[in-house]
Every structure is written in structure tokens, then in C-alpha cells.
Amino acid sequence: MEKTIFDVPTVTLDDDSSSLLIIDQTLLPGELKQIALKEQPAIHEAIYKLRVRGAPAIGVAAAHGIYLAAKALDMDDTADFAAEFLKARDYLKSSRPTAVNLAWALERMTRVMLEKLDEGVPAVKAALLKETLEIQREDEETCRAIGEYGLSLLKPGDGLLTHCNAGQLATSRYGTATAPMYLGHERGYGFHIFCDETRPLLQGARLTATELSSAGMDVTLICDNMAATVLKKGLVDAIFVGCDRVAMNGDTANKIGTMPLAIAAKRFGVPFYVCAPTSTIDPDTATGDGIVIEERPAEEVSDMWYRERMTGDRVKVFNPAFDVTDAELITAFVTEKGILKPPFDISLATVK
């Protein structure tokens, strides 16, 4: 039988070969290929080019990546080791700016490095291996808990809508926004799921729609600009999206197109849930104004997916990869620690 994404881990560490193994998501859905990354530039490139993507998955990839960088450092002097480690950390951190999980995972690894430094380089390396595996294990557990809480908001036969890919391919397992869908599917809920295609990189069409339909769910693909029509028709009982960074007042960065979806949800009275591992809540960001939004190459809009450039040569392109949804448009956050309701400045603070 042909393998599916459920047979291959999205991201994992192969310590024996000192490699980070990922599914190259730029090739999906046409080709399911696992690639091995050993060198730091290859790991940086894979994160930047979205071969591995989705906030939790890039956090795990970065943790494995910094462990591999540390493992490769052949030195006994702890001060030199720490200096090289921090250089590698800053390099990996520069690969994508918006998803806080990347910085969060690297900071967690840095803390372990600093705590163990007095015990010598081999002890630091052993502790880093333990920590990176723990980050991956926690990710899976977190997604399952988000799934249980999210499912408690739903009933059999519901119509659901999601944007981008906050699925298995964005995490170690289950996804965040898709976790209630997976658990409901296992329990016979019979959801009808709409997936926004998610311009310009089509994570919704290429990844989420394929992922959920391969799992046997009822999936309908729509272009992003059709979502309001589907909501107005009453086909959607709840919207579930993921997030890349949640500010302490509840403003939330997620894939570009999330904010207009939230506005439409408010207009048509559809609950808008953000599935958020607590690692994506950033205690250092007070409001959405403090979130750096990644801008990506123009070609992703003007050329990618087309046989030839699809607009005039002199046309300028604006390509922000994320937008910020105002807290007031969000019904609740579904975290692994429970469902957080407004006022978010108070409820978010209870889990951070």
C-alpha cells in the first residue's frame, strides 16, 4: 500500500545519523518525501522555504536543529561551546520571525545549555538531547488535549471551517485546529469540513484538505474569498484556526486571511475559535502591534503555481505571510490547559 503522511513523521530526530528528518511539504500533495538535514544552513533553508512549517513543527525542528548544532561542536572549553551554541541559536532564530514557537523552543534549549554548562560539554549535550525529545513529546500531548477541549464545543454533524494548515503537518500529531476534527472523526461525529485554499502558498488546499480527506473525513475545498458566502449560507457551525503568536491581550497572528475570516464570522454569528498551545502565547508581546509580520518574496504571489507570470511585469506585489486578528473577534482560545474566554488579558495570564 502507498504510504500517506500518517505513516511518516512530520518532523523527527534521527540521533544515530545526526539528522533532522522532515517531510518536504513543498512537494505535497504530489510527492511524499522524507528528507534528512544535517547541516545548519540546510535546516535554516528548510524552515525558511516552508519545507517544514506550522508554528509547533518549526519549534520542534529548531529544537532538534540546535541540538544537532551542539552535538557537532567538537570542543571541551565550556565558554567557547556556549558562544558557538548562541551563534547557532541566533542563526536558526532568523529563519522565520512571526511564529513564537521557534524562539520559544530555542530559548528552552538555551536555558538547558546554561544550566548544565558547569558539568561540562558532554553533560550539556546529553541534557539537550533529553530536552529536544521532551519538546516533541509534549507537542503531541498538547495537540491531543486541545482536541478534547475543542471537541467539547461541537456536536455530531457540525459544519466546520479552517484556514491554512494547523494540522498533523504543522505539529507532531493531530494538529491544533484539526485535533477536534480527528478526535470527532474517530468517534463518528460525521463533520462536514470546509478548507480555505489559503493563498498564496495553498497550505489549505495542498495540505489540510488532502490530510483530512486521506483520514477519511468529508472535506470541501473553497477559495479564500468564498468563505463569507459559505458562512452566510449557514453551512458552518464553528471555525477553528491555529496561531503563530498570541499577544497577552488576545490579539493573534496567524496565516494571512485569518483576520477577514474572523470579521466574516462575527458578521454571520459563527463562533471563531483559535487553537493555541500555550507555547504560542507570548508573554513578551502585550498587543498585536508588537508582532513582527514576515513578508515573503513577490514570486509567491505572481509566479508560483502558474505556467508563466500571471500579472504585468511592472506590477508591484505585497506579500505579508500573516495577519493579526483583533482579540474582540475571537470567541475563545482552545489550549491544552482548557478553553479561555474573554476577557483575554485575564484568562491568558492564568496559563502563562
| Residues near ligand MRU (CB under 6 A) | 50, 53-56, 99, 164, 166, 170-171, 175-176, 203, 242-244, 254-255, 321
Cα 126 to Cα 94, 104, 130, 159: the distances in Å are 25, 20, 6, 47
- Annotated catalytic residue: which of 244, 251, 282, 323? 244
CB of 68 to ligand MRU, least distance (A): 21
Beta bridge partners of 14: 19
> For the chain, how are helix, strand and coil distributed in percent, rounded to 5?
45, 15, 40
Q: Which helix (H) or strand (E) holds 275?
A: strand 272-275
**Closest approach of Cβ 78 to ligand MRU, in Å?**
35
Which residue has its beta carbon closest to ligand MRU?
242
C-beta of residue 174 within 8 angstroms of C-beta of residue 242 = no
* Nearest residue (CB) to ligand MRU, 264 versus 321: 321
The CA distance from 181 to 329, in Å, is: 22
Query: DSSP states of 13-49 as a string?
Result: EETTTTEEEEE-GGGTTT---EEEE-SHHHHHHHHHT
In the complex, least distance from residue 267 CB atom to ligand MRU, rounded to whole angstroms: 22
Nearer to ligand MRU, 28 or 129 (CB): 28
Q: Name beta bridge partners: 215.
A: none
Q: What is the CA radius of gyration of the chain?
A: 20
Of the pair 112, 250, the CB lying nearest ligand MRU is at 250
State the nearest-atom distance from the C-beta of 10 to ligand MRU, in Å: 11
Active site residue 244: yes
Q: Which lies closer to ligand MRU via its Cβ, residue 203 or residue 335? A: 203
Nearer to ligand MRU among residue 150 and residue 175 (C-beta): 175
Per the listing, cell 523552543 goes with: 105
Q: Which of 101, 100, 46 lies closest to 68, judged by CA? A: 46
Q: Which residue has the cell 533529553?
A: 130
How near is the Cβ of 74 to ligand MRU at its closest, in Å?
Answer: 33
Give the nearer residue to ligand MRU in terms of CB position, either 63 or 127: 63
Rounded CA separation 174/56 (Å): 12
Q: Are 196 and 169 in contact (CB under 8 A)?
A: no
CB of 99 to ligand MRU, least distance (A): 6
Active site residues: 244
